[in-house]
Structure 1
Amino acid sequence: MTESRPHALFCFGTLLDPRVQTALFGRTVPTEAATLAGHATRPLAVAGDSVTAAGGRDVRPTLARKLGATVEGGVLRLSDRELAAADDHEIDDHVRRRVTLASGETAWAHLDARPLRAAARIVIVGDSIAYGRCDPEGGWAGQFATAHIAADEHAHRVFNLAVPGSTLADVGEQTPALLPPRHPDTIVVAAGINDSAVPLAASDTGIDGLRDITGPLDALLATARRHHARLVVLGPLWLDESCTGDFEGLRFTAARALELRAALRTWCAEHHVDHLDLWEPLRDRPELFVDGLHPGTEGHKELYRYLSAHHC
């Protein structure tokens, strides 16, 4: 039987304990000392976790981004079966994501399942919905920025670089040059509905943003990894097709938006990237939209409430 290719997993806690390794993997695993830059540890309150319950504790340390900090730990080389066992060992509030070690090696690590809760310096890129069009209060992004910075004014930053009308291809081209001075640990790509638009002009019928969204997403993921940042893909929103009509020479339909949603979910699942699905919060609530596409003030408040409850 062919052995699976070893997976590098960065650990700093119980998975480095030989007794835990033996219980999980049926063997002790050689540990290679490793350092994870740009991270620190912080306590995470947990509920219903068998490992912490056995120790009589209701908190467990987790990784969090922190500029200039490091976490000392080790790398385990695991088979497919062992990696799955390590996933099962972790609490429900953790997910496995890619990180870059101080050595330059890419490895798996278990991070907070709520990506915005774990973030400090956040860059938001996207289209007019992320920009906050139709809401003089700055949209969901403005509300999120206010709360995020207020939680830790010294360390927290939010940079909203969204540009109305942008597609994923536009975002992929524009973003790399904007990141260096902002030192992001999290990049939120607000994938709206521009990639699902169908041009009404006969001469533009060959233009289809849904034909290949994987190229821009692959480029954005590579950009995030170069900055040791966590990529988070957000959207799209439900739309009221009865009100969209001919919108600036484009047609937007629910069917195309759902196709975009499915493509984003599939790509994120295949690449272990966080996808924050914003379809349901405004679904079948046309009164929260200004023109069928853009939420108004109350719509953006609903989006912010949803993000706060599920991802922050």
Structure 2
Amino acid sequence: MTTNFKVKLGQGGFGTVYQGKLSNGILVAIKMLNETKKNDEEFINEVASISRTSHVNIVTLLGFCLEGRKRVLIYEFMSNGSLEKFIFRKGPESIAPLSWDIVFQISMGVAQGLEYLHKGCKTRILHFDIKPHNILLDEKFCPKISDFGLAKLCPRNESIISMSEARGTMGYAAPEVLNTHFAGVSHKSDVYSFGMMLLEMVGGRKNINGEASHTSEIYFPNWIHKRLQMCTDLRQYEGIVPEENEIAKRLTIVGLWCIQTFPYDRPTMRRVIDMLESSINSLEMPPKPLFSSPTRSVSGSSCS
């Protein structure tokens, strides 16, 4: 199917993804997991959760292999790869930036996919690893949520779930996921991760920048909140026209609401979709993120 593993699409701690082709000529992505106990758990988790889904913004699992120590997942092929390479634009080849219309389209698609996982399935699915790397794009840049290895199934009538250990990726995981004594873990934890990803899509950089020249720029949400208050372009070194800036501001406001420290201050994904569809004038300015770096003094704090 992979022609002896000829084309490698990606690699991570879980294993390697190869391009394959079915007997009918359809291209697929074949995810081969490393042989570890943790990956055994993630394999079962992924099959159990994603097999319950059917949504245009959720990647389709076409099949799997469980033979001896082999753990293989077969997914629909996504020709544009992950969102990550388009946001950070790092790699050997030159990648053109996404238009703001496409950025908005991707944001809305991921929001609708998450809203479906939280409310549209018979069993609520919490993803716990929403980040650009796990958002795949097809040939029309339609986004699909992938990698359900850390997902958790829970009854729809339960708002708070129990967790034995932290899960997710640093920088995207909500405070309550990293420390369950902080607050209860719920679907609002995915909202936090989505918000952090949204801010990265606007800023075109990772949410934590250890190489920043000023301490106030290390924690990105703090930096972008300040620029929003000052009515400054939200993407550094890249001027954008007023129509694009309106989209950027709307995405930033929604993203900052999503990453509020306490879960009850964050919107649901249904509310996120409504906010994304609203006019900029109807959106309330979110509070400054609680967890932030020291700031330099700035002049000006409101827009005319």
Q: TM-score, normalised by structure 1?
A: 0.27
Query: Higher strand fraction: Structure 1 or Structure 2?
Result: 1
Max Rg structure: 1
Larger relative contact order (Cα-Cα within 8 Å, sequence gap ≥ 6): 1
